[in-house]
Structure 1
Amino acid sequence: MPQQISAPHGGQDRGRSRGADVRHDLWGPTLLRAVVALIFAAVTVFWQEPSLGAGRWVMAFFLVGTGVSAIFLQLRLNRREDVDLGPSRNIPQSYGVLYVLGGVLTAVVASSDWLFVLFSAVILGLCGITELVLGMRFRGQFPLGRDWTLCGVVTVFAAMGMVLVETLGTKAELGVVGGAAIIVGVTQLIAALSLRHDARAADKALTDPGRTA
């Protein structure tokens, strides 16, 4: 079956009767992800000598928070009857759950440095690849397509970087992921603000079409 994706405003009268551009449902989860990433990045930048025990809890916060934002996005998409991503519709929920489970395992089970790197890198790698594929599939067709692509690429490189610096200790491992989190956080913050602005502008255009003529 061909993929059916609504125009940003949700298309026909059904979308108009809801009075909400689809981007209204996207900017909240996007902002949440940005906040989580920027908090994690700030901690990793200013924390000079993190211990393994504390470091794994900080990583768990990042993984669980990112997963929650993806699940939040899924819930928002589920209530949009005018948005159909086809077989890929539930992918955000899938990697969101994986992020959450990975965060819990990292916090509870990763009692050694190599386990910490193993759990974190595997989760970041799997989720990053999944998000990258999703983004490539809908890039240019859905408001979050390019953001999924960028975040997927950055996350995959973060996973690879963790493995490469494994012998340098927790500070280096968190630093690699923190650097990626800065990129994700800044781009997601810009995306969230842009989505919110564009959604409001589209609503105004519908209520007062004469002003856009």
Structure 2
Amino acid sequence: MSSVSPETSLNAVWKPVLLRAAVAAVFGAVTIFWQDPSLAVLAVAGGLYFLLSGAAVWIMSRGRSLASARRLFIVEAGLFVTGAVLAFIIPTAVGFTVAAVIALGGSGVVELVLWAKLRKQLAVARDWLVTGVVGVGTALFLPLFVQLQAHALLGVVGGAAVIIAVFLLIAALTYRHEAPTRAVKA
């Protein structure tokens, strides 16, 4: 059991959760409004999405309140960065699919493990069930769209990003709102 109070935990995580939501929202918007993306757009936009998502996870790992999960967060950040590197260096539909399966599927599995281990100790851990399922689900279904090329791949990953963005935005704003309230009541 963590010795950090719930309000300290919420104060520590709302900013990185909001950052990850913003990254996902921007990527989701790009995928919605880019009408005819090339493989280069797929590689760069997807790679940046994975890289910045990994950065947000790494920032979250630095918080004291989540020290018990730091190793798993670093693994998750590493999976996102690995996906980014692969997307950048293999700018093909298959390359992006492999990169996304590693980044989204791998991070989803890590988040499901974090949820299972910490859901009773940390409020933020309950969100990892949704983000984990979305990541794993996207990784499982994305290979079915590889022959449809960049537009379809961006659409599938972008759709998942929009779901993650909305969910994490609500979570981050809730944490921001509840953290001081809980501290005052305690």
Whole-angstrom CA distance in 2 between matches of 1:112 and 1:184: 25
SS in 2 for 1:105: helix
Tell me the residue number matched to 2:167.
187
Between the aligned partners of 2:18 and 2:33, the Cα distance in structure 1 is 23
CA distance in 1, matches of 2:70, 2:90: 32
- Secondary structure at 2:91 match in 1: coil
- Determine the structure 2 residue equivalent to 1:15: none
- Out of 5, 8, 11, the position equivalent to 2:6 is 8
What is the aligned partner in structure 2 of residue 60 from structure 1? Answer: 47
Cα offsets for 1:44-63 (capped at 9, x unmatched): 01111100011110001110
Structure 2 residue corresponding to 1:90, chosen from 32, 52, 71: 71
Aligned pairs, number: 186
Is the Cα contact below 8 Å between 2:10 and 2:124 reproduced in 1? no
Which string of whole-angstrom CA distances, capped at 9 and with x for unpartnered residues, describes residues 139-191 of structure 1? 23212111111101001111122111111111111111111111100010001
1:34 aligns with 2:14: no
Aligned AA (1:8):
P
In the other structure, the counterpart of 2:158 is: 178
| Structure 1 residue runs without a partner (length 5+) | 10-20, 207-213
Measured on the aligned residues, the alpha-carbon RMSD in Å equals: 1.6
Aligned-residue identity in percent:
35
Assess, with a 3 A threshold, how the Cα gap between structure 1 residues 35 and 24 changes in structure 2: closer, same or farther. Answer: same
Deviation at 1:5, TM superposition (A): 5.4
Alignment check: 8 A CA contact 2:115 2:128 kept: yes
What is the one-letter code of the residue matched to 2:92?
S
SS in 1 for 2:9: coil
Which of 152-161 and 31-40 deviates more? 152-161
Q: What is the CA distance between 1:202 and its match in structure 2? A: 2.0
Gaps in structure 2 of 5+ consecutive residues? none
Which residue is 1:134 aligned to? 114
The superposition leaves residues 192-211 of structure 1 with CA deviations (integer Å, 9 ceiling, x where unpaired) of: 011011111123335xxxxx
Moved over 3 A (4+): 3-7
> Which one has a bigger Cα radius of gyration?
1
